[in-house]
Amino acid sequence: MNSKSETDEASRGSEASSSNSDPTPDSSKEDSSPSLCSDSHSDNTQDIMKRAAAKQLIERYFYQLVDGCGNPNCDNKYCASSGEARNLTPNEAAAEAIKLFYKEARLCDSLPNKVPRIEAACCESSTSNTTNTKEKTNKDEKNLNTPSSSTASGQSGEMKAGTSQSLSQFVYKNLSFSNGAPLTEDRMYQLCDDCINNKSPQSLIKALAEAFTQPPILARSFATKVNTDHISTKEEKTAKESKAMCSSDPDKDIDCSSKPALDVASCRRAFEYLSKVPSEKYNSTLVLILATLAEYIQLDIRVGKMPIDDIINCFVIAFEVKDLGCSDYLEVALPALCDAAEHLPIKGQAKLARIWGQECKESLRHILEMLQQLITLRVISTHYTRTFQVQDDESVTKATKLMKIVYYANMIAGVMEPNTLREEPVVITNQLDPLGDALDHLYPLSSIKNSKHSQPKDPLAIELGVNVLDARKPYLPFEEFYNEPLSDTIEMDVDFANYKTDTSGGKKFSFLKYPFILTAATKSLGLYYENRIRMYSERRVSLLHAVVGASPPMPFLKLKVRRSHIIDDALVELEMIAMERALDLKKQLVVEFEGEQGVDEGGVSKEFFQLIVEEIFNPDYGMFTQQVDSHTVWFNPTSFETEAQFTLIGIVLGLAIYNNIILAVNFPMVVYRKLMGKKGSFEDLADWNPILYNGLKDMLDYTGADLTDVYYQTFRICYTDVFGNNIFHDLKENGDSLFVTQENKQEFVELYAEFLLNKSVETQFKAFRRGFVMVTDESQLTTLFRAEEVETLVCGSKNFDFNELEKSTEYDGGYTSDSTTIKDFWSIVHSLSLEDKRKLLQFTTGSDRVPVGGLSHLKLVIARNGPDCDRLPTAHTCFNVLLLPEYENKDKLQDRLMKAISYSKGFGML
């Protein structure tokens, strides 16, 4: 393939669109917005771009000569893969690459699979190798404009005569990138003032172009001021830096302790000042400059010629540029920066996250908003099909990967708790089924069945030592990371398949690996697929048992209970199943009420869970206590029930999630945090017992020296049992004689919270969590969901917006949204109290809770059930279908509807 057209296009940059190419002025363009190519400063900027493009092409020639294109059938004589190109040393290959550039030699279509780092050997710190900047610039501009083989030969000779250098150093030298000057806060002020006063952006754009198109210069910009008095002259300083960069010992780390660090605050102030300049004077140019910077950063990461700290500085500076005011930034520059960030090693991503989290808190919202806008813009403007999914859109996927760095930075910027407060892991010992596991190896679904260890922990989280469980209060709410247009667009069956089958970090992209960007409703659909596949897998195992002659187990988890003894019957059956074969808990639940007809397609199970929860959490039952202030339930530390009973309650909670059923459970948030593996701490008292929390908080905030006299509190505490008896407990030995003081008050509140939330209910909660894990241990519940989202899975949404339900409702049997009966129905519904609305949900769906994502996800169907009559409305709760006769007037409809929803338990539902 002849690379002439490619070379011309790359080397000219945006020259093709330049109005300067036309000698005849076009007066029609005089009033247009200034751009890179239409302003008087375009020549300088284009020169920089041309040199940059030439550098990139020469490096491609170099790697083609050294590594080849990877095609074993390559016939390009200038490619190492063809076998025709002779083996060249890095020095010879660099010189030959420049010759090929001037000859416009052929470039292969594909790049080498790997771009190795070129070892930079020691170089002589001689001033003879230093060229005057102006002379070098003039010479190289002449070389670029008048290519000749003699020039290339001279360059080759110079390289061979000197010591070994890396390709990048050699290209930088021979293409004479203008050294330019690093940007500083004062310089930016001066450039902006000149631009405003002289109404000419030439100097400003030239300075930005010189810095942003040369990462080594940009990395030194906005440096923290350091004392350099001990260095006598500039030449001595340069020699010292050169000696450090070219150390003859490759294993010796370069001492960068004296290198000025990036002053993020100075950088931010400088670009805030830049916003005073009308954006139309520089925005289009800066977009192109940032895109070019991203290409160079990506190349520098692959080559390894720049220290990772310098690359991180470039990213930080680039994302401090805020006010561009044009859509080109979202379409060109930001995708390029996301592309470059994808190539950062894990340690580099972690360093960037730390800098953003510790020094750039004020910029996090802006960065997140830009990424959200990019993703949303791509999603709503692109037509995705089954052959081109959103997972295939690199602009979206790469922005999501960069957002993950922002996600962790957001946690670092917020309030983090120690990572030592962890619940002990639960080990389930009776989950084995030798025959079933052996048969599963013959079928592809085994990869899903045995996938609980298939999704490794996030390497970035491990490198940072950050866990979302420890994020007590992130800098930005986690909900701001949700992208609803993306969540609504994703085909979850495709994404889930990618999530499960591509566990080695290959080419398949899955948004479930980046769960922070998905709403809880979308992730719950992925969890639903996983649980359903597991259920079908258990059915298949039952069939295979029968095929091989073994006694086939029941393909469902079937419970037969009596309404009058629902607790006894359910817990006894679940206990037997848990003891004999805990794997049966992962089968699809089927409930049958003794003496009642009906097939459980979901509705009967919903009623079963509702009834059993009402009984279990009844204070008279004695297993849980009511927290009056917070209206929540808590484990009874003095309960007479056995551990097995609490284990079975945990199983019920796990089954509800596993079978996608919403429960009317009012646990405080600390329960869900503990279920996810995080112990309770002082801050968890806020929703567990608000009055106690506020009292302890006042103690912590009290600064008076008379704290002991004011509070008169010792390390002995008192709490009451379910019978109202006072129980005393010493938080420390001889706690009754140890008073709380200014010095030990923090220890007191921590020990107090530790006892109330962990130690006092350790036995009960450990059994409860064991039952929960017995059902959910193989799912990705803890990987995909935060504690707040798990609460939503269990309890549903708290948003009772019946307008959403009306919009999502479908009609059948002759009804439409314009039918008189339907209009009357919704008029009645909207006038109901919240309690009656709950009853309506209970009557039509079998649960009075709002599903995850709100009532718009309920999909209610109202069907005509004959003409006017005296019958009450009925419902198929398994399918969310309301059978509504066409009553003759609104009053009769209201009377029959209220009677139906008020007396609907048991026989009232089908």
Q: Note whether 464 and 471 are within 8 A (CB).
A: no
The answer to whether 650 touches 774, Cβ cutoff 8 Å, is yes
DSSP state of 883: E
Based on its alpha-carbon atoms, the radius of gyration of the chain, rounded to whole angstroms, reads 35
- Spell 14-49 as b/e; 16+ CB within 10 A means b: bbeebeeeeeeeeeeeeeeebbbbbbebbebbbbbb
Phi, psi of 24 (to 5 degrees): -90, 120
Beta carbons of 55 and 106 less than 8 angstroms apart: no
Q: Where are the alpha helices (DSSP H) in 3-120?
A: 4-12, 42-66, 90-103
> 559 pairs with which residues across the strands?
591
- C-alpha dihedral over 341, 346, 352, 356, to 10 degrees? 110
At position 360, the amino acid (one-letter code) is: C
Beta strand 557-561 pairing with 589-593: parallel
How far apart, in Å, are the Cα atoms of 710 and each of 715, 717, 736? 15, 17, 17
Beta strand ranges found along 388-511 (DSSP E) = 415-416, 471-473
**Tokens for 525?**
């659909």
Nearest to 554 by CA among 528, 592, 525, 526: 592
Residue of 581, 672, 610, 634 lying closest to 839 (CA atoms)? 610
Structure tokens at 68: 């080849």
* DSSP symbol at 335: H
Using CA atoms, how far apart are residues 721 and 743, in angstroms rounded to an integer?
31
Q: Other CB atoms closer than 10 Å to residue 572's CB: what's the count?
A: 13
- Compute the Cα dihedral for 709, 710, 716, 719 and give only its sign: positive
Give me the torsion for CA of 140, 145, 147, 152, rounded to 10°. 10
Q: At what angle do helices 603-616 and 643-658 cross, to 10 degrees?
A: 150
DSSP bridge pairs for 592: 560
Would you call 882 helix, strand, or coil by DSSP? strand
Instruction: Tell me how many degrees the CA angle 628-633-638 measures, rounded to the nearest 5.
Output: 100
Pull the structure tokens for residue 546.
Answer: 């029968």
Q: How many CA atoms lie within 13 A of 4 on its CB side?
A: 2
Q: Six-digit token pair at 148?
A: 């000749």
Please give the C-alpha separations between residue 9 and each of 12, 50, 96, 436, 666, in angstroms, as whole numbers: 6, 10, 22, 62, 65
Active-site residue, 878 included: yes
Tokens of 699: 């103690």
**Torsion-angle region of residue 863: left (phi > 0), alpha (psi -120 to 50) or beta?**
beta
Beta bridge partners of 635: 624
Q: Could you tell me if 414 and 359 are in contact, meaning their C-beta atoms sit under 8 angstroms apart? A: no
Helix-then-strand count for the chain, H and E: 39, 12
How far from 623 is each of 414, 583, 649, CA to CA, in Å? 37, 26, 10
The pair of structure tokens assigned to 816 is 């439409």
Nearest to 222 by CA among 273, 171, 174, 175: 273
- Residue 371's nearest CA partner among 230, 522, 481 is 481
Tokens found for residue 825:
């129905």
Q: Which residues are catalytic?
A: 878
